[in-house]
Amino acid sequence: MADIRLPRGWTLQQIRDVTGDREAAALDPDRPVKWVSVGEAHEMSRPEIVLGFHSLCLLKPVDDDDWYMGSLYDDGSIDCWAAYSDLYEALRGL
């Protein structure tokens, strides 16, 4: 299993406080991720950090400073459809 990480400078409690989701969790980043836009989808680079919020998630890819919001499926895969340059704004966007 890969290392489960939190964003630098954040605790799980702080993430839960911002989102209001008491069940928010840091998840194993070893999972397939796609960027989905109208009519097409393509693979994204491997996530460094994945935060789960029931059927939604936020992730930060290894090679990117942006945060991506997406749908988290039962098989562990993620389809992303929104991007944020700031983690706080991404958390508020949930």
CATH number at residue 89: 2.30.30
- Residue 4 is predicted with a pLDDT of 85
- Residue 38 is predicted with a pLDDT of 84
Q: Is residue 6 one of the residues assigned to a domain?
A: no
Q: Is residue 7 one of the residues assigned to a domain?
A: no
Number of structural domains in the chain: 1
Q: Is residue 5 one of the residues assigned to a domain?
A: no
Q: Is the pLDDT of residue 1 over 60?
A: no
The answer to pTM > 0.85 is: yes
Q: Is residue 47 one of the residues assigned to a domain?
A: yes
Q: Tell me which amino acid residue 78 is.
A: I
* Contact call for residues 27 and 50 (beta carbons, < 8 A): yes
Cβ atoms within 10 Å of 65's Cβ, excluding its own: 9
Q: Is the pLDDT of residue 19 over 80?
A: yes
Domain that holds residue 80: 12-93
- Residue 8 is predicted with a pLDDT of 95
pLDDT digits (tens, 9 = 90+) for 21-68: 999 999 999 999 999 988 899 999 999 999 999 999 999 999 999 999
